[in-house]
Structure 1
Amino acid sequence: MDIPIFILAGLLVHCVFLVSIFDIYFSSPLVHGMTPQQTPLPPPAKRLVLFVADGLRADSLYELDSNGTPRAPYLRGILENNGSWGISHTRVPTESRPGHVALIAGFYEDVSAVAKGWKENPVEFDSVFNESKYTWSWGSPDILPMFAKGATGDHVYTFCYAAESEDFGAEDAAKLDIWVFDHVKSFFNSSRSNETLFSALNEEKVVLFLHLLGIDTNGHAHRPNSREYQENIKQVDEGVKEIASMIDNFYGNDGKTAFILTSDHGMTDWGSHGAGHPSETLTPLIVWGAGVNYPQKVTSQFFEDNFLKEWKLENLKRLDVNQADIAPLMASLIGVPFPLNSVGTLPVEYLNSSAHFKAESMFTNAVQILEQFKVKMNQKKETTLSFLFTPFNSHCSKLLLKCFVCLQVFLCKTLINLALDGLSYYHTYDRLFLGLSIAVGFVGWTTYVILVIIKTHTNLTKTKSAVLFYSFASAGMIIVFFLLIQTCPWTYYIYCLLPVPVWYAVVREIPVIQDLATNVLSLHVGQSVGFLLISILAVEILVLSFFYRSALTVGLLVFAVWPVITQLWVQAKTKALIWTLLCVLLAIFPLMPVVGRDPNIPLVLPLVCVRNCIIESCVALSTYVVSSTHNSLKNKQGLPVMNQIISWMILVSSPVLLLLSPTFLFQRLFSILLSLMSIYLLLSTGYEALFPLVLFGLMFVWVNMEQEALQHYGLSRKPKLAFFNFTYAMDITQFRQLHLDDIRRSFFFVFFIVTAFFGTGNIASINSFDPASVYCFLTVFSPFMMGGLLLLKVAIPFVLVSCAFEAVQVTTQLSSKSLFLIVLVISDIMALVFFLYSANLYFSLTFLMSLSCSISHYVLVMSLTIFMMVMNGLAQLLTTQRLGLPRRTKHHST
């Protein structure tokens, strides 16, 4: 297969493998066609006021300050004297959009929806707002519109401030919450002179939603332990008090208003969120007003988090809920139908109503979830052959009848849990089937790449058999027929048919397989076992590094002694010593904290180096912009416009400037470092600014060490690296046979790539990056722009490693295709391990058996593999291309 065709096929195959995980694990949980369910009894409240303090942690609200006084005295008084309280447990990803969907619609949105934007709905869903008579909402333009656009009719109204107001560099983000409170007051005041509005406000089933973004913005900008964050909580407390009092007065204290205060997610100590740390998943919930229980005194209660004693609330009953449970609670309080796709369970402990009302509400909740279960079951039954269909083993119908007759809360809860289990069963019905298809294709692809590598360095040719072709073609037709009669989605055809051509390509290489088996059997048993054990250990270290960054430290320390256990220590003592020192120095970075660090700008500054040139001037300018921007934000003066302009100019110009430098190895690699460092500095806030320097130093020594290693195999010496020109690489690169040392080189590359990703951060976790990193470019909230800049920061060390590997390829006299194919095999084996982990099909022989695998690791490795294919071409571009007038360069003979 030609190289371009092979690369294209590889990209296509890996894209399929990457997309498959979303179809298998992240398909939308929504179904349609259910009948709305509503409690038949009169509700306790006519209206509901929902306060969502975006980014508010449970401990930040409930804990007492250093003086022993509550941070939010009004809300503290409510939970002690007037209402019920607890913790709302959120789910990953702990972001604003899925958090609000869970709160208001009652279901946990599939993860892929986060990437589709905040304002638009990738799918239509029902919500408490949609079921209400009227809903008025105030707050962020990133949250409110999606509930208005998802509603039927014209009864959900939004009042949003300008998007530019969400500025992390603003003097005080609490102004966002003040805007909301002021506009709510103005709204009620204006209603007294607007008969239509006044009449609507006095209807039943009315919802008022106040989205308070200031706490989240201050948390990102200043950290949750900052004065700004804590002062914002006090301001919210005062605002909630004023609004609650104003609404009660407006309605003549009729006692028909229910109030709920909660949060969509929490926040880490370092000002980020998205993952599953308790500081992100534990949010406050305080409910009071019409239909809500008063505080319940208890003598003792136990929770694993042991927060009660710290908060001085051990004598008040804590009622914890899942975040999706709040939607049925709101629906029950004002008597609207439960959201159609809600999977929440009504927390009846919050209700102060008759036992009959509680039982009827729980029964309605059970029937509403059972409706989803029936629709899901019928859908799966219609698209599955009758003899292959395995129904969920349940007794829902009998239990439903029993619930209807007895109308007991605990029976309804049992039915709800059973229906939820059934929903999960049918939602994941095809997971094993699809997982096995992808795994078979994965193994086949990896086997084929190994065979291509072996065949490239042998004289064997592939077999040609018409019988073989027709056999696999027949198998493909059977699969198509099988999927067709079940009316499966078109993506299923891709996942199930992909193994057919892949394994056909493998089986065609029978001579290569036979020759490989013969050679393996002829090897000494000790050599074979030793090589196998080393390979397993190497892959396990790479896999382990995705869970524990300290595994990279262990690997780098092993790398440090590599010259000692070979002849390189004798052959090149100085280079070997530098290699060892740099490995040890780089090994320190994975031991340093990923997050939680405060900005340490002085560490960013001492980086202006050696010679006078335009690129180095960009580096110096970057250090100034970082320092100036940090000081301006610290003094709450915002992002200086000139600094912002300079930052974007450096971002655009630096990649172009490096192409102006000579293509000699030393000069080009050094230019690549300086040009990318100028961008990296603008995205740095602390010690990570030193990371690319240490990494580049090690990469440069690696190129030198690999050239020295060539002597062990009788290969000719290359020209001195100082005179090596990337543009003549193809002229002086000689084809040679593959050697075991080339596998080690490829493993080094993969290990350094993983180190580049995890050296200063944990890219597998959304919350591992400091939002302050992008403040030189923008401070106004823009999730995709900020995310793109953070990905650029992650990619820069990757580019440095890729360019170094390009130098290794052309200086070791081996074709780039062979080395890259070995890299592809290593990364694919890692991805296969993670895939089998996520599918519960893999049992490691090491202590990794006890670890649960995050699917994000598989997505990361697959993205990494695809990215490496692209970056291989980018590295060649950065090392060989030069802008400017053509020059005649003296050709150095070999």
Structure 2
Amino acid sequence: MGIPVFILAGLLVHVVFLASIFDIYFSSPLVHGMTPQQTPLPPPARRLVLFVADGLRADSLFELNSNNTPQAPYLRAILENNGSWGISHTRVPTESRPGHVALIAGFYEDVSAVAKGWKENPVEFDSVFNESKYTWSWGSPDILPMFAKGATGDHVYTFCYTAESEDFGAQDAAELDTWVFDHVKSFFNSSRSNQTLFSALNEEKVVLFLHLLGIDTNGHAHRPYSKEYKENIRKVDEGVKEVVSVLESFYGNDGKTAYILTSDHGMTDWGSHGAGHPSETLTPLIAWGAGVNYPQKVTSQLFEDNFLKGISRSFNYVKMRMLLFAQADIAPLMASLIGVPFPLNSVGTLPLEYLNNTDHFKAESMFTNAVQVLEQFKVTKHMVKKKNVSLNNNYCCTVPLSDSEQINFLKKARLYIQQQKYNEAVSLCKTLINLALEGLSYYHTYDRLFLGLSIAVSFVGWTTYVILVIIKTHTNLINYQSNNKVSWKFLLFLFSALCILAFFLLIQTSPWTYYVYCLLPVPVWYAVCFIYLKNCKFHLMCVVFSFFYRSTLTVGLLVFAGWPVITQLWVQAKVLTTLIWTLLCVLLAVFPLMPVVGRESNIPLVIAAGLTTLLISCFSLASFSRGEYKYQSKEDLKVYLYQMFSIALSTYVVSSTHNSLKNKQGLPIFNQIISWMTLAFSSALPLLSPTLLFQRLFSILLSLMATYLLLSTGYEALFPLVLSGLLLAWIQMEQEALQHYGLSLKPKLAVFNFAYATDITQFRQLHLDDIRRSFFFVFFIVTAFFGTGNIASVNSFDPASVYCFLTVFSPFMMGGLLLLKVVIPFVLVSCAFEAVQVTTQLSSKSLFLIVLVISDIMALVSCFSQLFLLGKFAFSVLSPPCSISHYVLVMSLTIFMMLMNGLAQLLTTKRLELSRRTKHHST
């Protein structure tokens, strides 16, 4: 198999491996065809007002200030005298879209839906808004349209401010909430002169939704403990008080309005969210008004959770109604209060502790909740049984919910209600809900094990195949005799296996992706068993590399520091090179010990990184002006000087921008233009520089460093400098290590020219040191990813990193810039690896194949088996790293390395000539 075909095949296989995680683990939980369920008794409220304070932490609202005064006096008085309070627990990813879906629709949306954006729906879903008679909503254009588009009919109305208003650099983000409160008050005042609107507002089953984004925006921009964040909470408190007053006046204090205030997610101390820290997952709930329980006094209440201890001290005399109930439970609570059908796909359990109603109403509501969840279970079970035709007769499930058992549960619960044994009915309904939810999960994930095993078999087969390619092509460890004859019996067996698998999938009406996952092992293992193993005898040793915690990178780098001494390489290498290698390994080892997240912005460190880069550039310029390093033309010198100017300009822009934002003067338009221009030209400038090794590598560093400075907020700005220094020392050390084999050396690295590098596969076979070189590359790649942060965790991203480019909320644009920040160190490592390959006289294919094997083993051993076979799931690798994001990271890493291999060759070998061609000296 030729190199282009092999690379294409490898790329396609790994794309399948990556895509499988989204198809197997991220399939939509929604089913359709259920019958709406509604409590038959009259509801306590005619209307519901839902306040969602986006990004509001539970402790920020409930805990007292340093002077023992409440942060939100009005809401504090409500929960002490008029309503109930508690803490809801959100699920990861703790983002706005899934949080609002859980609150309003009652189910936890497919994680991949976050990638669809906030405004669009991958699938239509039912919600409390959809079931209402009318819903009016005010707030962000990123949230409100989602529920309007998901509603049937024309009864959900939205009033949004412009997207440009969501500016992290604005003078006061609390104005977003003020806009909402002002427009609600204006809306009700104007409705008195509009008879149609007035009549609609006085209907029953009405919902008013106020989405308050200011707290979230201020949290991102200034952190949750800032004056701006706390002041925004106070303004929300005042706004809620004013809106309640307007509504009570409008409805004549009829006592038929229920109020709920909560949040979609919390926020970390460093102003981000997305993962599973308690500061992100624990959100407040305050409910009051029609149908809501009054406060209950207690002598004390203490919680074991450290995050909740401060809250318990603030409320040791007002009982929390429920401790850590699920966020999805709020949807059935809202439906019960105004008497609308429970959302069809809701998986929430009605929190009865919040209801102020008769035991009969509570029992009927719980019965309705149970039937609604059971409907989903029945539809899902029917769909799976219909698809799995061969299993219809002997279909087993670990959940004891056969058709007869379902009927018995419902009959018994109905009998208890008729006999006024309401507590027994409620208890039985809760049991039925739990069983139905367990069964729902069982049938939803029914194909997961089968598909996971298929991918695992393919994964092992592909890794084995690559190992055999390396051994056959680049070593003398096997005796291979070419034999292209394939038995017709084997071909018949292969064809029969494919037909049986395809027929099995066909009768189950499986999607086309299932065919890919299940049929892929056949050609992969065919290549292993009948192209190589049929005629091979070999001895093989496997080295498994994996990583779990960032601190292990420090240990690895410290071991690397002693590598020249351990291997006695320092005898051949220059003393200065050895000392530089050791020093830079120790310096780089410090970065994984720095805070992953939670750090405050430290712009002086960014400025220091920029000035340090300029200082190094000046010394390099002196070297590039004389001797072996000398530039060949004035154009080359101009490019270098322009890159130095870009570094200086980026340093100024970072300082100027953050000073402007600190003074709440917004993002200067000049700074924004310079930032985007720097980003646009940074990728092209290295192609204008000489292709001499050190000059080209240093040009790549300067261009990427200019962009990286603009995306930095603290100590991470120094990371590329230290990493690049270590990589240059690595290149020098690796060339000197070739003396172990008595190989003829290439010319001095100072005059080595990438443009004249030829394919040197014929010069030598693989040695054990080449495995170590590949291991070093993988280790440096992992260090580049995790050296300054945890890129697999959503809440590691600091929005302040992109403030030089934009401050108006744009999730995909911001995400793209943050991804670029992650990729820049990756590019530096890839280019250094390209230099190592050509200077050590080794085929790029052979060394890259070893890297591919190491990466695949990382994915297979460290997380793949636990992910698919043990079913462990955690979205963030801040928790144990055997998780969805860890698997996606390793698969993306492998695919990136394939793509970056070509990019590194482009950046190091190609040259653009904008003027006359310069004369090159042959190496």
* TM-score when normalising by structure 1: 0.95
Query: Could you tell me whether the CA contact under 8 Å between 2:759 and 2:843 is conserved in 1?
Result: no
User: Using the alignment, how far apart are the partners of 2:178 and 2:241 within structure 1?
Assistant: 13
**C-alpha contact (below 8 Å) 2:760/2:842 kept by paired residues:** no
Match of 1:515, SS state, is coil
Distance 1:699-1:366 versus aligned 2 partners, 3 A rule: same
Give the secondary structure class of the aligned counterpart of 1:113: helix
| SS of structure 1 residue aligned to 2:317 | coil
User: Contact 2:222/2:229 (CA < 8 Å) preserved in 1?
Assistant: yes
8 Å contact from structure 1 (residues 461, 511) kept in 2: no
Distance 1:53 1:513 in 2: 68
CA drift of 1:188 comes to 0.2
Larger CA deviation: 333-342 vs 479-488: 479-488
Instruction: Give, in whole Å, the separation in 1 of the partners of 2:733 and 2:459.
Output: 34
Q: Which residue of 2 aligns with 1:527?
A: none
- Could you say which residue in structure 2 is the equivalent of 1:381? 385
1:873 and 2:902 correspond? yes
SS at match of 1:764: coil
Equivalence for 1:489? 511
| 2:415 maps to 1:409 | no
The aligned counterpart of 2:590 is 588
- Contact 2:696/2:908 (CA < 8 Å) preserved in 1? yes
Please state if 1:819 is matched with 2:847: yes
Q: 1:290 to 1:799 in 2, by over 3 A?
A: same
Give the 3 Å change call, closer, same or farther, for CA 767–196 of structure 1 in structure 2.
Answer: same
Per-residue CA shift, 1:397-428, capped at 9, x if unaligned? 12222112213111111110000000000011
Cα displacement string for residues 158-179 of structure 1 (whole angstroms, at most 9, x for unaligned residues)? 0000100000000000000000
* 1:879-894 correspondence runs (5 A): 879-884=908-913, 885=915, 887=917, 889-893=919-923
Unmatched 5+ stretches in structure 1? 521-530
Q: Give the drift of 1:717.
A: 1.2
SS of alignment partner, residue 760 of structure 1: coil
Classify 1:710/1:512 alpha carbon distance in 2 versus 1 (closer, same or farther; 3 Å). Answer: farther
Q: Select 1:400's aligned residue among 398, 410, 413.
A: 410
CA contact (8 A) 2:301 2:316 kept: yes
Q: Aligned equivalents of 2:310 and 2:891: distance in 1?
A: 46
Helix, strand or coil: the match of 2:430? helix
2:715 is the alignment partner of 1:687 = yes
2:59 is the alignment partner of 1:31: no
Q: Distance in 2 between matches of 1:555 and 1:703?
A: 18
Q: 1:471 aligns with which of 467, 481, 493?
A: 493
Deviation of the 1:595 alpha carbon? 1.5
Alignment of 1:167-246 (within 5 A): 167-246=167-246
751, 770, 794: which one aligns with 2:779: 751
CA RMSD after TM alignment:
1.6
Q: 1:331 aligns with which of 328, 335, 353?
A: 335
Q: Is contact 1:455–1:512 with CA below 8 Å preserved after alignment? A: no
Three-state SS of the structure 1 residue aligned to 2:303 is: coil
Q: What secondary structure, in the 3-state scheme, does the structure 1 residue paired with 2:537 have?
A: helix
Aligned to 2:860: 832
Unaligned runs of 5+ in 2: 418-424, 622-639
1:451 positional shift:
0.6
SS in 2 for 1:353: coil
Secondary structure, in 3 states, of the residue corresponding to 2:835? helix
**Whole-angstrom distance in 2 between the partners of 1:481 and 1:838:** 28
Q: Deviations over 1:694-718 (max 9, x none)?
A: 0000000000000011110121111
Between 409-418 and 467-476, the greater mean CA deviation after superposition:
467-476
Provide the residue aligned with 1:526 in structure 2.
none
**Alignment partner of 1:312 is 2:333:** no
- Counterpart residue number, 2:556: 555
SS of residue matched to 1:809: helix
> Whole-Å Cα distance in 2 between the matches of residues 189 and 375 of structure 1?
46
Aligned to 2:396: 390
Question: Equivalent residue for 2:634?
Answer: none
Q: 1:882 to 1:309 in 2, by over 3 A?
A: closer
* Partners of 1:82 and 1:747 in 2: CA distance: 64
The residue that corresponds to 2:278 in the other structure is 278
Aligned equivalents of 1:282, 1:370: Cα separation in 2: 28
Q: Structure 1 pair 146/16, CA: closer, same or farther in 2 (3 Å)?
A: same
CA distance in 2, matches of 1:303, 1:839: 35
User: What does the per-residue CA deviation read over 1:817-843, in whole Å, with 9 as the maximum and x for residues that have no partner?
Assistant: 001010000001111121112124599
Closer/same/farther in 2, CA of residues 393 and 323 from structure 1, 3 Å limit: closer
* d(CA) in 2 for partners of 1:462, 1:825: 24
What residue in structure 2 maps to residue 152 of structure 1? 152
SS at 2:52's partner residue? Answer: strand
CA contact (8 A) 1:218 1:229 kept: yes
Q: Is the 8 A contact 2:480 2:536 kept in 1?
A: no
Q: Would the aligned equivalents of 2:572 and 2:737 in 1 still touch at CA under 8 Å?
A: no
Partner-residue secondary structure (3-state), 1:196: helix
Q: Could you tell me which amino acid in structure 2 is paired with residue 495 of structure 1?
A: Y
How far 1:733 moved relative to its partner? 6.7
Match of 2:886 in 1: 857
What residue identity is the alignment partner of 2:703? S
Equivalent in the alignment of 1:523:
none
2: distance between equivalents of 1:725 and 1:405? 88
Residue 449 (structure 2) aligns with? 432
Q: Secondary structure at the match of 1:121?
A: coil
Structure-1 residue corresponding to 2:366: 362
Give the structure 1 partner of residue 628 of structure 2.
none
Give distance in 1, aligned partners of 2:394 and 2:447.
12
Aligned length in residues: 867
Q: Deviations over 1:854-876 (max 9, x none)?
A: 11100010011101111000000
Give the secondary structure class of the aligned counterpart of 1:275: coil
Match of 1:498 in 2: 520
Structure 2 counterpart of 1:130: 130
Give deviations 1:183-229, integer Å, cap 9, x for gaps.
00000000000000000000000000000000000000000000000
Separation in 2 of the partners of 1:778 and 1:302?
A: 44
Cα contact 1:455–1:461 (8 A) shared by 2: no
Q: Which residue in 2 is equivalent to 1:622? A: 650
CA contact (8 A) 1:703 1:807 kept: yes
Paired residue type of 2:409: L
Q: CA deviation at 1:315?
A: 2.3
Retained in 2: the 8 A contact 1:103–1:326? yes
8 Å CA contact 1:128–1:336 kept in 2: the answer is: yes
Q: Distance in 2 between matches of 1:623 and 1:358?
A: 63
- The 3 A distance-change label for structure 1 pair 58 and 426 is same
Which amino acid in 2 is paired with 1:55?
A: G
Q: Distance in 2 between matches of 1:201 and 1:317?
A: 34
- Which residue matches 2:627? none
Partner deviation per Cα, 1:347-392 (whole Å, 9 max, x = no partner): 0000000000000000000000000000000000001113563234
Cα-to-partner distance string for 1:499-541 (whole Å, 9 max, x where unaligned): 000000001244577421xx45xxxxxxxxxx76xx34xx1xx
Shift of 1:471: 2.0
For 1:886 and 1:422, locate their aligned partners in 2 and report how far apart those are by CA, in whole Å: 73
Alpha-carbon distance between aligned partners in 2 of 1:580 and 1:461, rounded to the nearest angstrom: 46
1:443 equivalent among 439, 460, 474? 460
Asked whether the equivalents of residues 454 and 512 of structure 1 are also in contact (C-alpha less than 8 Å), the reply is no
Identity %: 78
In 2, the alpha carbon distance for the partners of 1:841 and 1:820 equals 31
Is the CA contact (8 Å cut-off) linking 1:258 and 1:288 kept in structure 2?
yes
Q: CA deviation at 1:23?
A: 1.4
Contact 2:554 2:590 in 1 (8 A): yes
**What is the TM-score when the length of structure 2 is the normalising length?**
0.92
Residues 90-120 of structure 1, C-alpha deviations (whole Å, 9 max, x = no match):
0000000000000000000000000001001
- Of 797, 815, 822, the residue aligned with 1:769 is 797
- The answer (yes or no) to whether the contact 1:90–1:282 under 8 Å persists in 2 is yes
Change (3 A) 1:600 1:32: same
